[in-house]
Amino acid sequence: MPDTETFEPENIIVTGGCGFIGSNFVHHVVDNHPGVHVTVLDKLTYAGNPENIAGLPEDRVELVVGDVCDEGLLDELVPGHDAIVHFAAESHNDNSIADPEPFVRTNVVGTYRLLEACRRFDVRYHHVSTDEVYGDLALDDPARFTEETPYRPSSPYSSTKASSDMLVRAWHRTYGVRATISNCSNNYGPYQHVEKFIPRQVTNVLCGVRPKLYGDGRNVRDWIHTEDHSSAVWEILTRGRAGETYLVGADGERDNIDVLRAILSAMGRPEDDFDWVRDRPGHDRRYAIDPAKIRRELGWRPRHTDFAEGLAATIEWYRENEAWWRPAKEATEARYAAQGQ
């Protein structure tokens, strides 16, 4: 493992810290890095829920409700912090197909504003991105994505994430902003919005509704537990080299129909108790990450390597936390029904 200098942040801004992965990261920092104070900057869109970070010690975590596009707010907030970890985004592909504008605004303009603030105040920046920037692979292709794979995004969502990654690279090279990028595969775990695949199907079963599978169900996603994503982001923030990209994955390739059958059988339902629905336009076929670089350079390893166990714990979390997901369920399903999904 090459020597890497360790950056020891004391006061970080976490954007999107009330969303699924951002809130998990805030918990991870509070639990594992006692000297670090976290300022969460979150607009609290439909996807943000302050409950996700409720109960954390007030002297460790502060919530600022605001927009990453708000330059005046960033001018007030950023000085005095030593790093920004940028999770905030419009994150759902189906929404980006129905209405791309908020994706361009938050994902592209928001990243631009944060990079400019990092430049003005000389603050380190970590950019949380996705494997979807690389487009998709064929089912019979033995290849996986690496840091050298050319960008080829397919959806409005992934094209805005690709655009924001490009801004980060340019701000590092041209202005010397100390920035790193991670491109991670599909996350699962607690606090994920019910619009996403696994929570949607689990809560459908809990509601007595048949799960919905797009297309032929053979699309492959590379699943990683969100806690493993958090530990990877921390390693990259503190030990990654500025200007570098790291792919994050946990060797979790599975096709959608297998994941759905695993959910149904874990919940005591017959494996064919679901509906086939209209496919997503432009639906990426397969994602797969080669995590060799982060393993080699930073020694990072995922801890949740048993998918069946992680899935069972996630199902249990949704069973026990109906009060958390119930308020969003009806509106989410109404949106899907209007799209024939």
Binding at 106: pick from ligand NAD, ligand TDX, none (beta carbon under 5-8 Å per type): ligand NAD
Terminal C-alpha separation, the chain: 47
**Footprint of ligand NAD (CB under 6 A):** 15-16, 18-22, 41-45, 47-48, 67-69, 87-91, 106, 110, 128, 130, 161, 184, 186-187, 193
**Of these, 67, 132, 136, 228, which contacts ligand TDX (CB under 6 A)?**
132
Residues 305 and 104: their CA atoms lie apart, in Å, by 35
Q: Is 151 one of the binding residues for ligand TDX (CB under 6 A)?
A: no
CA distance 278 to 340: 6
Residue found by looking up tokens 């399903």 in the block: 333
Between the CA of residue 332 and those of 203, 273, 336, what are the distances in Å?
11, 21, 6
Q: How many CB atoms lie within 10 A of CB 113?
A: 17
Burial class of residue 214 in the structure, from the number of CB atoms within 10 Å of its CB (0-12 exposed, 13-18 middle, 19+ buried): middle
> Which of ligand NAD, ligand TDX, none sits in contact with 304, Cβ below 5 to 8 A by type?
none
Q: Is residue 136 within the footprint of ligand TDX (CB under 6 A)?
A: no
The site map against ligand TDX for 91-130 (x = CB under 6 A) is xxx------------------------------------x
Interaction partner, residue 160 (ligand TDX, ligand NAD, none; CB < 5-8 Å by kind):
none
DSSP 232: H
Judged by CB under 6 A, which of 197, 223, 234, 246 binds ligand TDX? 197
- Residue at shortest CB range from ligand TDX: 130
Distance, C-alpha 143 to centroid of its chain: 23
Q: Counting contacts by CB under 6 A, is residue 200 touching ligand TDX? A: yes
Q: Which residue reads 């979150």 in tokens?
A: 42
Residues with catalytic function = 131-132, 157
**Residues 35, 36, 40, CA angle at the centre, nearest 5°?**
160
Is 90 a binding residue for ligand TDX by CB under 6 A? The answer is no
Positions touching ligand TDX (CB under 6 A) are: 91-93, 130, 132, 186, 196-197, 200, 212-214, 219, 221, 256, 280
